Protein backbone atom coordinates (compact mmCIF):
# COMPACT_ATOMS: atom_id res chain seq x y z
CA UNK A 1 0.00 0.00 0.00
CA UNK A 2 2.82 2.36 0.95
CA UNK A 3 4.66 1.59 -2.29
CA UNK A 4 1.48 2.24 -4.27
CA UNK A 5 1.03 5.64 -2.59
CA UNK A 6 4.62 6.62 -3.42
CA UNK A 7 4.13 5.54 -7.01
CA UNK A 8 0.94 7.60 -7.23
CA UNK A 9 2.65 10.69 -5.85
CA UNK A 10 5.56 10.27 -8.24
CA UNK A 11 3.25 9.86 -11.20
CA UNK A 12 1.32 13.01 -10.29
CA UNK A 13 4.57 14.85 -9.82
CA UNK A 14 5.75 13.81 -13.24
CA UNK A 15 2.54 15.10 -14.77
CA UNK A 16 2.49 18.39 -12.92
CA UNK A 17 6.19 19.20 -12.94
CA UNK A 18 6.85 21.70 -15.77
CA UNK A 19 8.78 20.27 -18.65
CA UNK A 20 12.21 21.84 -19.13
CA UNK A 21 12.35 24.39 -21.93
CA UNK A 22 15.09 24.31 -24.55
CA UNK A 23 18.02 26.40 -23.42
CA UNK A 24 17.78 28.57 -26.51
CA UNK A 25 13.98 29.06 -26.54
CA UNK A 26 14.14 32.63 -25.21
CA UNK A 27 16.97 33.55 -27.53
CA UNK A 28 15.03 32.17 -30.50
CA UNK A 29 12.14 34.52 -29.71
CA UNK A 30 14.48 37.46 -29.19
CA UNK A 31 16.28 36.74 -32.45
CA UNK A 32 13.22 37.52 -34.57
CA UNK A 33 13.76 40.99 -36.02
CA UNK A 34 10.61 43.13 -35.92
CA UNK A 35 10.29 45.41 -38.93
CA UNK A 36 7.64 48.05 -39.61
CA UNK A 37 7.01 49.24 -43.17
CA UNK A 38 5.93 52.88 -42.83
CA UNK A 39 4.54 54.25 -46.05
CA UNK A 40 1.70 55.19 -48.34
CA UNK A 41 -0.37 53.19 -50.85
CA UNK A 42 2.75 51.59 -52.32
CA UNK A 43 3.38 49.99 -48.93
CA UNK A 44 -0.28 49.44 -48.09
CA UNK A 45 -0.86 47.35 -51.23
CA UNK A 46 -3.42 49.57 -52.92
CA UNK A 47 -5.57 47.73 -55.45
CA UNK A 48 -4.08 44.33 -54.67
CA UNK A 49 -5.35 41.18 -52.90
CA UNK A 50 -4.19 40.95 -49.30
CA UNK A 51 -1.52 38.38 -50.16
CA UNK A 52 -0.03 40.29 -53.10
CA UNK A 53 1.00 43.61 -51.56
CA UNK A 54 4.56 44.69 -50.86
CA UNK A 55 4.54 43.71 -47.18
CA UNK A 56 3.16 40.15 -47.51
CA UNK A 57 5.40 39.44 -50.51
CA UNK A 58 8.46 40.77 -48.65
CA UNK A 59 7.50 38.65 -45.64
CA UNK A 60 7.18 35.59 -47.89
CA UNK A 61 10.58 36.27 -49.46
CA UNK A 62 12.27 36.54 -46.07
CA UNK A 63 10.56 33.39 -44.82
CA UNK A 64 11.60 31.50 -47.95
CA UNK A 65 15.22 32.38 -47.20
CA UNK A 66 14.90 31.23 -43.61
CA UNK A 67 15.35 34.75 -42.23
CA UNK A 68 13.72 35.23 -38.82
CA UNK A 69 11.95 38.54 -39.29
CA UNK A 70 8.39 39.86 -39.22
CA UNK A 71 7.17 42.78 -41.31
CA UNK A 72 4.21 44.83 -40.09
CA UNK A 73 2.22 46.87 -42.60
CA UNK A 74 1.99 50.53 -41.54
CA UNK A 75 1.11 51.80 -44.99
CA UNK A 76 -1.79 54.23 -45.39
CA UNK A 77 -3.01 55.12 -48.86
CA UNK A 78 -2.81 58.83 -49.59
CA UNK A 79 -0.35 59.64 -46.85
CA UNK A 80 2.24 62.34 -47.35
CA UNK A 81 5.52 62.47 -45.46
CA UNK A 82 3.88 64.87 -43.00
CA UNK A 83 1.03 62.41 -42.45
CA UNK A 84 3.55 59.66 -41.74
CA UNK A 85 5.28 61.90 -39.22
CA UNK A 86 1.97 62.67 -37.49
CA UNK A 87 1.27 58.97 -36.86
CA UNK A 88 4.84 57.85 -36.33
CA UNK A 89 4.66 57.04 -32.63
CA UNK A 90 1.67 54.69 -32.84
CA UNK A 91 2.64 53.26 -36.22
CA UNK A 92 6.06 52.24 -34.89
CA UNK A 93 5.38 50.67 -31.47
CA UNK A 94 7.91 49.92 -28.74
CA UNK A 95 9.92 46.82 -29.53
CA UNK A 96 10.36 47.66 -33.20
CA UNK A 97 13.87 46.87 -34.41
CA UNK A 98 13.82 48.39 -37.88
CA UNK A 99 11.66 50.55 -40.13
CA UNK A 100 11.37 50.71 -43.90
CA UNK A 101 10.37 54.31 -44.66
CA UNK A 102 8.53 54.73 -47.98
CA UNK A 103 7.00 58.20 -48.10
CA UNK A 104 7.04 61.19 -50.41
CA UNK A 105 5.28 59.91 -53.53
CA UNK A 106 2.05 61.73 -52.66
CA UNK A 107 3.99 64.87 -51.80
CA UNK A 108 5.44 64.78 -55.30
CA UNK A 109 2.15 64.00 -57.03
CA UNK A 110 0.49 66.90 -55.24
CA UNK A 111 3.35 69.28 -55.97
CA UNK A 112 3.99 69.92 -52.29
CA UNK A 113 7.03 72.11 -51.70
CA UNK A 114 10.05 69.81 -51.46
CA UNK A 115 11.26 71.61 -48.34
CA UNK A 116 8.13 70.48 -46.50
CA UNK A 117 8.76 66.89 -47.54
CA UNK A 118 12.39 67.15 -46.53
CA UNK A 119 11.48 68.57 -43.11
CA UNK A 120 8.95 65.80 -42.43
CA UNK A 121 11.30 62.99 -43.46
CA UNK A 122 14.11 64.61 -41.49
CA UNK A 123 11.92 64.59 -38.38
CA UNK A 124 10.95 60.94 -38.95
CA UNK A 125 14.57 59.84 -39.26
CA UNK A 126 15.60 61.93 -36.28
CA UNK A 127 12.98 60.34 -34.05
CA UNK A 128 13.68 56.80 -35.24
CA UNK A 129 17.44 57.13 -34.77
CA UNK A 130 16.87 58.64 -31.34
CA UNK A 131 14.95 55.45 -30.54
CA UNK A 132 17.90 53.39 -31.82
CA UNK A 133 15.78 51.88 -34.59
CA UNK A 134 17.55 50.86 -37.80
CA UNK A 135 16.15 52.48 -40.94
CA UNK A 136 15.97 51.70 -44.64
CA UNK A 137 14.91 54.87 -46.46
CA UNK A 138 13.25 54.34 -49.85
CA UNK A 139 13.62 57.12 -52.37
CA UNK A 140 11.19 58.48 -54.92
CA UNK A 141 11.65 60.28 -58.23
CA UNK A 142 9.68 63.24 -59.50
CA UNK A 143 7.30 62.85 -62.42
CA UNK A 144 8.72 64.46 -65.58
CA UNK A 145 5.74 66.81 -65.95
CA UNK A 146 6.75 68.58 -62.73
CA UNK A 147 9.82 69.96 -64.43
CA UNK A 148 13.56 69.86 -63.87
CA UNK A 149 13.53 72.48 -61.13
CA UNK A 150 11.12 70.50 -58.97
CA UNK A 151 13.04 67.28 -59.56
CA UNK A 152 16.31 68.97 -58.61
CA UNK A 153 14.82 70.01 -55.28
CA UNK A 154 12.86 66.83 -54.57
CA UNK A 155 14.99 63.86 -55.58
CA UNK A 156 18.14 64.62 -53.53
CA UNK A 157 16.08 64.66 -50.32
CA UNK A 158 16.55 60.93 -49.83
CA UNK A 159 20.28 60.63 -50.41
CA UNK A 160 20.92 63.77 -48.36
CA UNK A 161 18.96 62.51 -45.36
CA UNK A 162 20.37 58.98 -45.60
CA UNK A 163 23.86 60.48 -45.43
CA UNK A 164 22.91 62.85 -42.61
CA UNK A 165 21.58 60.07 -40.36
CA UNK A 166 23.77 57.23 -41.57
CA UNK A 167 20.82 55.06 -42.57
CA UNK A 168 20.49 52.63 -45.46
CA UNK A 169 19.12 53.96 -48.74
CA UNK A 170 17.19 52.22 -51.52
CA UNK A 171 17.30 55.00 -54.11
CA UNK A 172 13.99 54.40 -55.92
CA UNK A 173 11.16 52.28 -54.55
CA UNK A 174 9.65 51.73 -58.01
CA UNK A 175 12.94 50.80 -59.64
CA UNK A 176 12.29 48.44 -62.56
CA UNK A 177 8.53 49.04 -62.41
CA UNK A 178 7.88 52.73 -63.06
CA UNK A 179 6.66 53.45 -66.60
CA UNK A 180 6.37 49.72 -67.41
CA UNK A 181 2.67 49.22 -68.08
CA UNK A 182 3.05 45.44 -67.89
CA UNK A 183 4.03 45.82 -64.22
CA UNK A 184 1.52 48.46 -63.12
CA UNK A 185 -2.19 48.62 -62.51
CA UNK A 186 -4.44 50.48 -64.99
CA UNK A 187 -3.63 53.79 -63.25
CA UNK A 188 -0.07 53.44 -64.51
CA UNK A 189 1.36 54.19 -61.08
CA UNK A 190 0.69 51.41 -58.58
CA UNK A 191 2.40 48.07 -59.14
CA UNK A 192 0.40 44.98 -60.02
CA UNK A 193 1.34 41.61 -58.45
CA UNK A 194 4.12 41.10 -61.00
CA UNK A 195 5.41 44.59 -60.29
CA UNK A 196 5.46 43.90 -56.57
CA UNK A 197 7.56 40.81 -57.19
CA UNK A 198 10.09 42.95 -59.09
CA UNK A 199 10.23 45.49 -56.25
CA UNK A 200 10.68 42.81 -53.59
CA UNK A 201 13.35 40.95 -55.56
CA UNK A 202 15.37 44.12 -56.13
CA UNK A 203 14.98 45.45 -52.61
CA UNK A 204 15.53 42.18 -50.76
CA UNK A 205 19.35 42.52 -50.50
CA UNK A 206 18.91 45.92 -48.83
CA UNK A 207 16.33 44.50 -46.42
CA UNK A 208 18.75 41.71 -45.56
CA UNK A 209 21.41 44.36 -44.93
CA UNK A 210 18.95 46.20 -42.69
CA UNK A 211 18.39 43.03 -40.66
CA UNK A 212 22.14 42.47 -40.43
CA UNK A 213 22.48 45.98 -38.97
CA UNK A 214 19.97 45.09 -36.25
CA UNK A 215 21.50 41.82 -35.07
CA UNK A 216 24.88 43.10 -33.84
CA UNK A 217 23.06 45.64 -31.66
CA UNK A 218 21.13 42.91 -29.84
CA UNK A 219 22.32 42.00 -26.31
CA UNK A 220 23.77 38.50 -26.19
Active site residue 11: no
Sheet holding 33-39, edge to edge: 69-75, 33-39, 98-102, 134-138, 168-170
Active site residue 160: no
Closest CA to 165 of 79, 101, 69: 101
Residue in 40, 91, 97, 190 annotated catalytic = 190
120-123 contacts: CB < 8 A, separation 24 or more? 120/80, 120/81, 120/82, 120/84, 120/85, 121/81, 121/85, 121/157, 121/158, 121/161, 122/161, 122/164, 123/85
d(CA 213, CA 208): 9
Residue in 41, 79, 82, 107 annotated catalytic = 41
Active site residue 41: yes
Question: Is 60 in a helix, a strand, or coil?
Answer: helix
**Catalytic sites, residue numbers:** 41, 187, 190
Amino acid sequence: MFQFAIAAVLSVGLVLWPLPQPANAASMVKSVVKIVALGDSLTAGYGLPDTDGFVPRLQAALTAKGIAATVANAGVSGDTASDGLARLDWSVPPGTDAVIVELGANDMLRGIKPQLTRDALDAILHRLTQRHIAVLLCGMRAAPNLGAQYAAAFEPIYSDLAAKYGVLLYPFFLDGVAADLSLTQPDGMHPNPQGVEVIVKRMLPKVEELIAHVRPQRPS
